[in-house]
Structure 1
Amino acid sequence: MARVLLAWEFGAGLGHLNRLLPVAVRLVALGHEAVFAVPDPEAARPAVVRVLPDAAAALLAGPHWKPVPAPGLRDVPTDSFADVLRLFDAHRPEVLRAAVARWDGVLAQARPDLIVADFAPTLALAAPAGVPRVVLGNGYTVPPPGRPLPPMRPWVQALPEHSRAHEADLLDAAGRLHRERQGRPLRHLADLFSGDRTFVCTIAAFDPYGPHRRGPVCMPFNVPRVTPGPPVAERTGGAALYLPANHPQVRAAFTALEAAGIPCDAHIGGADPHAAARAAPPGVAVHGRPLPLETVLPAATALIHHGGLATAYAGLQAGVPQLVMPVNLEQSITARGLQRTGAAVLLPGRGAVEPATIRAALERLTGDPVITAAAQAAARAAAARPRQDTLELVVAACRDFLEEPRRRRA
């Protein structure tokens, strides 16, 4: 039996952990031991225990990166990943060294035979020689290795000077540690985000580094398989709405749906479902659990959401026109990918958006034959793509690394 360390360090929420958990479940079923290192073990514990009850004690605290509380620093545009890392003071040698020291403690306690990492670049600096690393991530968190960081926005051609300077500072700080510990230079900052095997789990159309990525991408684990629905004009359902509780446009979307007389099934992520139901107008059914996209979307006439990758791709598979209101950069990149299909309308996620504007967008989605035809074409294209079991590919790579020492001994 081998011991596998599954780790993540950057990023809010539990999305990175939710990508690691299916791998852990499969490896534990094969007889291996799973140990987790996460920024906040108590926040992660319920998700881990739900699928691996015996792993409750195997939760270690890795580095916990928090943005620097300096308003002026946050005003700097984030054009590349170097700009993002600078918001966490990762360019400062003492901060970087402290994060690596935290990983040293985790590694001494876990003593892993294999590392499976998601968005954990400083773990790449600390990882001992001879312990293989399998890296998972979405397109946003795995910039292409072997080159300087490209722009995060695929519609931008070149980086500004401040982004290149930030990358140089980060590479200098990380490079010193890399030489000390690994005995060789770190040629590119992006190399810390890849491993001995790397799996970029995204949809090619939504990959922020698509114009620069040489290798293939893999279908994400959490994308449901959705059957295309009939043409929008023949559908019997109303709209489907999937927004987080802190999204600025929830109330405006409710008002627009009521004004347009469009029935809607809604899930407000992170909200008290009873409070959300009280705030919803007649005709909007608020569900306490996430909507079953594979059953709701093929009958829906419109999909309203904030630009989550899984939701966006489920909508494409179903052939439903989409109204997207992104809040952050990653969601904006996904929204731009949707817009290129012709099957989506984009509105701002931040700031004030009038309910009348949302209503007009919904009426355009369902009434414009160009948009509805584009949605059907996107569904046909999605159905024609070859199916791929990415989880099986990841587990096979892990097994190869874990069985290699046994093959050498034989």
Structure 2
Amino acid sequence: MANILLAWELGGGYGHLAPLRVLAAELKRRGHEIVYAVRDLAAAAEVLDPATGPILQAPLQMAAIHHPLRVQVSYASLLHNSGFDHAPHLAARLRAWAELLQRHRCDLLATDHAPSAVAAARGIGLPVLQFGTGFTVPPRRQPYPAFRPGLRVSDDVLRHNEQRVCDRIAGAFKQLGWAAPDSLQSLFGETARALCSYPELDHYGARSEPYLGLPDMAQGEPPEWPDGEGPRVFGYLRPGKSLAAVLAALQRLPARVLLRVGGIEAERLRSFERPGLRILDRAVQLRLAARECDAYVHYAAHGTTAEMLLAGKPGLLLPETVEQNLVALRATQLGAALTPPPKGEFNLSAALRQLLDDARLRNAATTFAARYAVQDRSQIVPRLADQALAAITRPPRAAPAGS
């Protein structure tokens, strides 16, 4: 029996919690002990099963970032703006993670986007499995590639950014009496890793590492579509600058719309409802919704976008973060999604009509679905659990210079 800490530190929403939930259930089924350390306890209460293990608050960066970077261009600048900018503050957070791991006598740390936890585990010599999307498990390349497709960033700039972060990590490790890494890649790239994605949806583009695929993380109630005729559109949105405009466009759309808006009470949005448009206040079983809808509207989170593409459904994607923009870019490159241009006007109503009428969008989505139709997704979580347990006895792997 192993003691395993499952950690989530960075990012929002439920996309980091659902993978923790299904992995924990499989590991618990095999007789192992689970502890969670999560960024958002309120969100965790909606997703995680406390019967699988105690759910604790993760050590987080609370102090203001020293000299935050206005534009993040790579994994190094993401780390800088996430608390890797100041050695004493970083050391305090790493110490807290190390104490958490040691107090629970952990044999393994498994993370979905928890770089501070990974650094602490490496500092005390604990095995690590990093799993998640291409964004949270960046390529084994030095320097890390830029993730701003429209911005030219030289390797010299990327190396400079990495060295600055690496110097802060070295300072924190020195305070804690740990051997400092000589690069970010030696710290984060030498752990066991699992990509729960597909080459076409990798934020950085396809790489040589194997892809497990998207686990079946179905949770919630079956979708109850509004009565009537017409195509079915599923919407999963969050509060943002475009929410009111999107709701108004869906209100005008001649379709049956089932809509979930996270982070806001459904009662506050009732004025947008109409016959044929229903706004939910509960989670919907996403895999069923993907199977039954004709199209979807979403903010381009990786998990939902992948689930819809696996069902062969085209989407209107409305990203608001770098990570979401990269997912939207990959889906539009497939020809299976529409997304607003970086600048200029965008007619939401016209885009929604095109989403339902353009056979090219549907064909591109069904092509993606057909490519992975033979994959047995019920085996993804057991394979992920196998990799987690193998990491306990796995020797560290040197990170190659390119991938």
TM range (shorter): 0.7 to 0.9
Separation in structure 2 between the aligned mates of residue 86 and residue 398 of structure 1, nearest angstrom: 28
For residues 8 and 380 of structure 1, do their structure 2 counterparts lie closer, same or farther at Cα, with a shift above 3 Å needed?
closer
Residue 60 of structure 1: how far off its partner (Å):
4.0
Kept in 1, the 8 Å contact 2:28–2:52? The answer is no
Q: Deviations over 1:146-185 (max 9, x none)?
A: 5221112457664475543221111122235557878756
Alignment match, 1:231 = none
Gaps of 5+ in 1: 226-234, 405-410
How many Å apart are 1:317 and its aligned residue? 2.7
Q: Is 1:64 aligned with 2:60?
A: yes
| Unaligned segments of structure 2, at least 5 residues | 220-228, 395-403
Contact map agreement 2:145 2:158 (CA 8 A) in 1: no
In structure 1, C-alpha distance between the alignment counterparts of 2:255 and 2:173, rounded to whole Å: 57
SS of 1:15's equivalent?
coil
Q: 1:197 aligns with which of 188, 192, 197?
A: 192
Q: Do 2:94 and 2:117's aligned partners in 1 also have CA atoms closer than 8 Å?
A: yes
Q: CA–CA distance in 2 between the matches of 1:361 and 1:66?
A: 40
User: CA separation in 2, counterparts of 1:147 and 1:158?
Assistant: 14
Q: Of the candidates 347, 358, 380, which is equivalent to residue 348 of structure 2?
A: 358
Q: Distance in 2 between matches of 1:401 and 1:377?
A: 35
Partner of 2:304: 311
- Could you tell which deviates more after superposition, 177-186 or 274-283? 177-186
Aligned residue identity for 2:303: A
SS at match of 2:236: strand
Q: Matched residues in 1 for 2:83 and 2:230: separation?
A: 52
Match of residue 248, structure 2, among 235, 252, 255 = 255
C-alpha displacement at 1:81, in angstroms? 1.5
Determine the C-alpha separation between the residues in 2 that align with 1:297 and 1:2: 36
Cα distance in 2 for partners of 1:365, 1:14 equals 26
Separation in 1, partners of 2:149, 2:372: 22
Using structure 2 for the length normalisation, give the TM-score: 0.82
1:218 aligns with 2:195: no
Asked if 2 retains the 8 angstrom alpha-carbon contact of 1:252 and 1:353, the reply is: no
1:353-391, CA deviations, whole angstroms, 9 ceiling, x for partnerless residues? 77xx11111222222333333333333234255657221
User: SS where residue 68 of structure 2 aligns?
Assistant: helix
Corresponding residue of 1:151: 146
The Cα shift of 1:83 comes to: 1.6
The one-letter code sitting in structure 1 at the alignment partner of 2:192 is R
State the Cα distance separating 1:224 from its structure 2 match. 5.9
Structure whose alpha-carbon radius of gyration is higher: 1
Please list the CA deviations of residues 208-247 of structure 1 after superposition, one character each: whole Å capped at 9, or x if unmatched: 2225x3312221325669xxxxxxxxx9533222112x13
Distance 1:223 1:399, change over 3 A: closer
Tell me: CA distance 1:107–1:262, structure 2 relative to 1, closer, same or farther (3 Å). Answer: closer
Deviation at 1:316, TM superposition (A): 1.8
| Structure in which a larger fraction of residues adopt helix | 1
Aligned residues: 384
- Post-superposition shift, 1:328? 0.8
| 1:286-325 pair list within 5 angstroms | 286-325=279-318
- Give distance in 2, aligned partners of 1:365 and 1:39: 35
Aligned to 1:110: 104
**Which residue does 2:381 correspond to in 1?**
391
Q: Partners in 2 of 1:67 and 1:182 — Cα distance?
A: 23
What residue in structure 1 maps to residue 265 of structure 2? Answer: 272
Q: Which amino acid aligns with 1:122?
A: S
Q: TM-score, normalised by structure 1?
A: 0.81
1:52 equivalenced with 2:50 (yes/no): yes
* Matching of residue 137 in structure 1 with residue 137 in structure 2: no
Report the aligned-residue RMSD.
3.3
SS of the residue 2:244 aligns to: helix
The Cα shift of 1:279 comes to 2.9
Please state how far the C-alpha of 1:137 moved relative to its aligned partner: 2.3
Mapped partners of 1:268, 1:29: distance in 2: 33
Q: 1:171 aligns with which of 158, 166, 169?
A: 166
Residue of 341, 347, 357 corresponding to 2:334: 341
Q: CA deviation at 1:117?
A: 2.4
Amino acid at match of 1:8: W
- Deviation for aligned residue 1:77: 1.2
Cα deviation, residue 352, structure 1:
9.9
Q: Within the alignment, does 1:96 sit opposite 2:94 as a pair?
A: no
Equivalent residue number for residue 232 of structure 1: none
1:64 CA drift (Å): 0.6
Deviation at 1:403, TM superposition (A): 7.8
Separation in 2, partners of 1:292, 1:73: 39
Q: Which residue, 358, 363, 372 being the options, matches 1:368?
A: 358
Compared CA separation, residues 336 and 94, structure 1 to 2 (3 A)? same
Deviation at 1:268, TM superposition (A): 1.4
